[in-house]
Structures are given as structure tokens and as C-alpha cells.
Structure 1
Amino acid sequence: MRYTDIAIIGGGLAGSTAAAMLGRAGIPAILIDPRPVYPPDFRVEKLSGHMQIERFRKTGIAEAVLRAASHETENWIARYGYLLDRKPVVQYGILYDALVNAIRTEIPAGTEQLFAKAVSISTSAERQRVLLSNDEEISARLVVLANGLNVGLRQTLGIERRIVSRCHSISLGFDMVPVGRPAFDFPALTYFSERPDDLTPYISLFPVGKTMRANLFVYREIDDPWLQRMRRAPEETLNATLPRLSRITGAFRIGGDIKVRPADLSVSAGFLQPGVVLVGDAFETTCPVTGTGTDKVFTDVERLCNVHIPNWLATDGMDAGKIAAFYDDPVKKACDEWSAAKAHHFRSVSIDKGLYWRAQRVARFVVWLGEGLLRRLLHSRTAAGGNASRFSIIRSRTAP
């Protein structure tokens, strides 16, 4: 029997981040995952936006981890074959396995990592027991379930996974290679759908190392023949779906395997129990189209490790009343509600054909165009002002 304060089950993004944070805080914890090195997995491939990066920074490990990512500061926005804006961004391209493994290197040596599978959990208001596939047992004050979509352990505790929207979206990941030239003209690109019938909210292109990575999102069923066409003839299918995309990208080919990931929207029921807490996708999933899943993970883990676990460990016991404070945390709840609302709104604004949603699409196009025009105007004025200043300096230096 091994004894610890915190047993973390699942060594993906949420679990590995929690282990790094608790270890740095000097809180005894054990990370349980069967894989010593996290394998390739088509999930998060980009961290972007000031808010998302700021949430990551609150974990205390962001700066070290992001050194392994490809940093980009400009993203082109395009639709209908027109470049609308060259928008300043904070964006880091990094494949999910590289992200998780970089986070694992930030776990202090004093935090144990056990490479086995958790096969059962027994919980109480005092201590929890976890049985592993190698017959070891862990006794912990708290179990953090960070095992994503693996529902087996949760079901043994009576925690249900309820589907809110089945196959809400499908994500496709692949490499894009320019044809006839060494590189694309853009540093990164978001190209939005041209018609609701495309069932495609957008495609995002961004650098990961020396590769231009593409994440394409669609609102289709998993048995849609379009997916087979995309696998068999990817360039032709993509050009048929977004016919004016090549005006921005130029000629391209799709290299390597095409990864496909359907996403259900789901919530947990019966989760408030003594001695166990759910974080990330184990608690509630979101839609990859919105990019808010990473926000939810960082928010969950930051609030749990920086606020609630230190408070819980300060007194005896680990009853449901303590655990409720995490689920009722106003910062966590606000992030969960924002993420869920955005998942449904993004789908409607992309494919719904009602008058309201058509107006929303037109309004978004006008806003993007207006922002781009204003940015170019300000840039030209700044450049003109700089040229005038330099001309004045030259005149003053050459005046008799």
C-alpha cells in the first residue's frame, strides 16, 4: 500500500498539469497512467488567444512548456476568397502528445508517477483506495479523475455520462504543403465557410515546427460519405467544400494521414461524492470547434490545485461538502457555461439557415472586413508619420 494526499488518475493534459502544480506546491501526489511517454493523439494542436494563454500561465508552468511550441503573432482572416484582416494574435502550435510530454517534464522528481492502469476505486469521507493493474494499491485523501472519456471507473462509482448532443462536430487534422513554392504566403490562416450547406465552420492553418498544420471542422454525421471522400481524394474534396480557399492558399497538397475525431457534448451526473473530484473532459466535454476545451482544463486544474486542494487538506476528512466547493466555484462555473453556450452558438451561426443566423453571418463578415480596413488604415498612417519624421530629421541635418 502506498500512501499519499492526492491520487491523480489520467496523465493527459489535465492530469499531468495537476501533477506538476501539486508537486511544485509541495503537496504529496501520485500520477497514475499506463504510458511512460504520452503517445500521438489527435486532440489539442494549438493554444491561442490572450485569455487562454493567461489561464495557462496561472498554472505556473506555461513559460517552460511553451518553449517547445511554434509561436506565431499574426493570423490572416479570410472568407469568400478574400483576405479580410491580418490580425495580431498570441498563438502557439504544438501537437497534443508534445504538449503533454512537455508538461510532464515539469513534474518535480518528488512527485511519483506510476505507469499502470487504475482498475477500481473505493471512496469514503476519509480516505480513498485505488487498485492498479499491477496489483499495487494506493491510499489517498483525494482522487482526481482526469481520465477524459474513459467512463469505466466513473460508472463503478455511479457517475453517469449523459450525451447532450451526439456527434456535435467532427475535427480533421492533416498537414498542408504548398505546391510550386517553398512556403505559404501567410504565417497562419483562419478561413471561414462560404455557405451553410458546406457544413464547415472554418479551417485553421498554423505552423507546428516546419510543418503547416490544418485543423478542419465540420458539422456532419460520422457515417457521412463526405468523410470517405475526404480520405480518398482530400485535395479535391476540400476544394469542393471551400471552393475559393485556394485564392488565399494557392495550390496545395495534403500530406500524411488524415486524423478524424468526432466529438459528443456530454455532462456528468451523480458526480458530487466524497473523496473524488472530476476535471476536464471527465466532468464535461465541449466542442473542439470553439477551442474552449483547453480553457476549461486550465481553469479546472488551476482552481482545484491553487485554491481548493490546499483548503481541503488543511482540515480532516474529504466529505462531499468539501468537494462541492470546487463544482460551485464561480470562476469554474462561468468558464463551463461560456464554453457550453459557445458550442451551440458556433454551430448555429455556421449552418442554420434562419433569417437571424443569416444576419449574424453577414454581421460577422462586415465586422471582420471593418476591422481589417481600420487596421490597414492605422498602419498606413503610422508608416506615413514615421516617414515624415525621418524626412524632417534628414532636412534638419542637411539644412545650412
Structure 2
Amino acid sequence: MRYTDIAIIGGGLSGSTAAAMLGRASISTVLIDPHASYPADFRVEKLSGHVQVERFLKTGIGESVLRRATFAENWIARFGRLLDKAPSRQFNILYDSLVNAVRDEIPAGVERICAKAVSLSTSPERQKITLSNEETISARLVMLANGLNVGLRHQLGIARKIISACHSISIGFDVVPAGRNSFDFPALTYFSERPSDRIPYITLFPTGPRMRANLFVYRGVDDPWLRELRRAPAETLNAALPRLKRITGAFDIAGEIKIRPVDLYVNDASGQPGLVLVGDAFSTSCPAAGTGCDKVFIDVERLCNVHIPEWLASDGMDGAKIATFYADPVKRACDEWSAAKAFEFRSVTTATSPYWTAHRWARFIAWTVQGLLRPLGGAIHLEPNFLGHASSSSSSSSSSSSSSLSSSA
């Protein structure tokens, strides 16, 4: 049996970031994941916005990781009109590249085990993990960071509450310009033209030599529109956003189209001793709202910088200790903000009442005014954060409005 203070199950973004932070703090840690190198997976494909990037930098590893991303100015458009060319803190990087870059920041003192956790038992003192390679781990605390995987949570009787089934669908694909070598824009966020299309926006951004597209829709998983998108992707997209090509020019969709439905849920692990859930293992977010990475970075930062050092300073790891993390006011504010933004963004996209119609036009006018003011040096971008404040920046450092594709599974 191997002994450690912290055992992390799951080596995605949250688990790998936690392993890097705990290792740098010289806290005895084991990272358990079946993949030595994280495989291709359709999740986060960029980090964007001043606040989100700053949260990543607070982990202590963000600066090194973001050097591997592609940075681009972001253009904003709607109704076939270019509204703004926004200087952007938008870092484009596919999820597997992001996770593997984070893993490179994990110190050598953190033991990494390529295996699957097949069983878990908890107690107020020590936790026991049995692995697929028949090894056993004894840890003071287990951090569950394995996303949508439900086996271990079912073993422990942790209940899942569905907040909104198939809240949104995320779609990813590569785009190439037709009949020319490159697109005229560095990166682009194009907002929907009609509520009936149920599309909040499409965002196009470079990842190395590729131009990547993330499209978000509010539809059911059995909607015939999705079948049409797979069958004739460029034609279906052009029919839904007919004036998009005024900005992009003619384009083709290349390679595989990846589609991921997103359920909003929360897992109730309150009272569970010796176990803490982070990231999507605790609750999901809507990728269209772009809050998934915020939740990951807040969870991991609060846990690794505040709660784990306090928990390890005294004996035991009972449920009352663990409850302080779920009650953390910064974490709770972020979770509530993320949930509220998910529903607000869907309403502003699809609702047709006078209130939401006015809200859509207000956004359009705000972007238009900002784009007109920017050449004069007067553009101000307000980026509200989950604490209810706003960070402002001048036109020389304004952050992008486009949302990152957050991990939802």
C-alpha cells in the first residue's frame, strides 16, 4: 500500500492543476489517471477575458502554460457587420495541449500513476483507493476530479441533481478559407441573427496553423438540425447565419465535427468525509456562457491555497472539515454566478419577449459604440465578474468578449 496526504483521481485540467500547485507547495500528492499523455478531447479550446486569465495566473503555472497558446486580436460582428476589433487576452489552445502543458508543470515530487481508480472507501481518518493495476493507495484526502465519470460517486452514494438537461450543445470543427490562403480576420466572434436559430454565437480562432470554430446551440440532442449539420455542414451553417460570410468570406468545414450535449447538474457530496469534488465532478457549467474554466481555477485555487493546508494542520478529515470548502464564499459566489449566467445567456439568445429583445439590441448597440470609440482611444470594456464588481480596461488592454468552450463533461 502506498501512503500519501492527497490522492487526486483524474488528470484533466482541474486535477493536473491541483497536482502542480500541491507539488509546488511540497504537499505529499499522488495523481491517478489512466493516460500518461492526455488524449484528444473536445472540451476547453481557449481561455479568454482578463478575469479568467488572471484566475489562471493565480495558480502559479498559468504564465508557463499560456506560452504554448496562440494569441489573437478578436473581431466582434453581428448582422454581417463588423462592430469592434478588440485587443484581446484570448489564448487559443486545444484541451489536450492545455492539460499536457499543465502536466509539464507538475514537480517531480508528485507521483503519477497510470491506472484507473476502480473502488474507493472513505472515513474520517484515511481513505482507501484500489487501482486497476491492483495497487492500493491510502490517503488522508481524496480529490475527485474525474469529470462525468460516475462509477466512484455511485459507490459512495453521492446523488446527482440535474438542473437543466441538455442545456446547450457545443460543436467544434476546423474551417478553411475557400479559394484563398487565409482569412482576413485574426479571430472572430459572430453573434446570432435571429432567436429562432437558437444560436448564441460562433467563434473562430487560430490554434497554431489551424482556424478552429466553436459553435453553440440551444437544441435537443435529437433535433434534425444536428443531423443536417453533420450531412452538409457548410450549407447548414450558412442557412442559420446567412450574413456570416460577409465577414469571413467563403469557407469550407474540414475534418471531423465534434458535438457535445451539456447537462447542468450538481453532485451532493455534503457530509462525505475524506473526499472533495472539484470542477465538473462537483457541478457543470454551460460552455456557451464561458464560465467553466473560471469554476475550475476558483475551485483549485481555494482548495490548494486555503483549505488543504488548513485541513492538514490538524488530525482527521471528517465531513465538517470538507464542508468548509463547499461553503467557501468565493467558491459559492462563482458557482452561483456561473449558473445564473448559463440561464441568462440562453434567454438573451432565444427568448422573444420585449425585455429580452431589448436586451439583445442593447448589447448590439454597446458593441457598436465601443467599436466607434476605440479608434479615438475612448473605448472602455467592462467585464463583470462573479463578485458583482467589474474590471475595466482601456482600449489598449481591453479583454475579449468571446467565451471559452468550458469543460462540461
TM-score higher than 0.5: yes
Q: What pairs with 1:168-247 in structure 2 (closer than 5 Å)?
A: 168-247=167-246
Match of 2:53 in 1: 53
Q: Quick one: percent identity of the two aligned structures?
A: 70
Match of 1:390 in 2: none
Match of 2:336 in 1: 337
Aligned equivalents of 1:269, 1:351: Cα separation in 2: 31
Aligned equivalents of 1:204, 1:376: Cα separation in 2: 23
Cα deviations across residues 111-163 of structure 1 (Å, max 9, x unaligned)?
10111111111111111001111111100000000010111101111111111
Match of 1:75 in 2: 74
Q: Secondary structure at the match of 2:272?
A: coil
Match of 1:102 in 2: 101
Match of 2:13 in 1: 13
Aligned equivalents of 2:327, 2:163: Cα separation in 1: 21
Using structure 1 for the length normalisation, give the TM-score.
0.93
Contact 1:268 1:283 in 2 (8 A): yes
Cα deviations across residues 171-202 of structure 1 (Å, max 9, x unaligned)?
00011111122111111100000000011000
Aligned equivalents of 1:270, 1:40: Cα separation in 2: 30
Aligned length: 379
Match of 2:395 in 1: none
Q: Please tell me the residue identity of whatever aligns with 1:362.
A: W
Contact 1:3 1:138 in 2 (8 A): yes
Unmatched runs of 5 consecutive residues or more in structure 1 = 381-400
Once the 2 structures are TM-superposed, how far is the Cα of residue 379 of structure 1 from its aligned partner?
Answer: 7.8
Cα deviations across residues 81-120 of structure 1 (Å, max 9, x unaligned)?
0001111110110000010011111111111011111111
Cα deviations across residues 298-335 of structure 1 (Å, max 9, x unaligned)?
11001100111011101111111111111111111111
Q: Please tell me the residue identity of whatever aligns with 2:272.
A: Q
Q: Please tell me the residue identity of whatever aligns with 1:341.
A: A
Match of 1:42 in 2: 42
Match of 1:32 in 2: 32
RMSD, aligned CA: 1.1
Contact 2:68 2:93 in 1 (8 A): yes
Looking at both structures, which has the greater relative contact order when contacts are Cα pairs under 8 Å and sequence separation is at least 6?
A: 2
Q: Secondary structure at the match of 2:87?
A: strand
Aligned equivalents of 2:270, 2:256: Cα separation in 1: 38
Q: After TM superposition, what 4+ stretches of structure 1 lie above 4 angstroms from structure 2?
A: none
Q: Secondary structure at the match of 1:89?
A: coil
Once the 2 structures are TM-superposed, how far is the Cα of residue 378 of structure 1 from its aligned partner?
Answer: 3.2
Q: Please tell me the residue identity of whatever aligns with 1:4.
A: T
Aligned equivalents of 2:378, 2:311: Cα separation in 1: 52
Contact 1:271 1:278 in 2 (8 A): no
Contact 2:37 2:100 in 1 (8 A): yes
Q: Please tell me the residue identity of whatever aligns with 2:34.
A: P
Once the 2 structures are TM-superposed, how far is the Cα of residue 272 of structure 1 from its aligned partner?
Answer: 3.1
Cα deviations across residues 42-91 of structure 1 (Å, max 9, x unaligned)?
0000001110011001111011111111112x211100000011111101
Q: Does 1:282 align with 2:281?
A: yes
Aligned equivalents of 1:46, 1:321: Cα separation in 2: 36
Q: Please tell me the residue identity of whatever aligns with 2:227.
A: Q
Match of 1:397 in 2: none
Contact 1:151 1:161 in 2 (8 A): no
Q: What pairs with 1:72-151 in structure 2 (closer than 5 Å)?
A: 72=72, 74-151=73-150
Contact 2:11 2:33 in 1 (8 A): yes
Q: Please tell me the residue identity of whatever aligns with 1:5.
A: D
Q: Secondary structure at the match of 1:64?
A: helix
Q: Does 1:377 align with 2:376?
A: yes
Contact 2:190 2:202 in 1 (8 A): yes
Q: Please tell me the residue identity of whatever aligns with 1:6.
A: I
Aligned equivalents of 2:286, 2:270: Cα separation in 1: 21
Contact 2:76 2:86 in 1 (8 A): yes
Unmatched runs of 5 consecutive residues or more in structure 2 = 380-409
Aligned equivalents of 1:180, 1:213: Cα separation in 2: 18
Match of 1:4 in 2: 4
Contact 1:84 1:368 in 2 (8 A): yes
Once the 2 structures are TM-superposed, how far is the Cα of residue 276 of structure 1 from its aligned partner?
Answer: 0.3
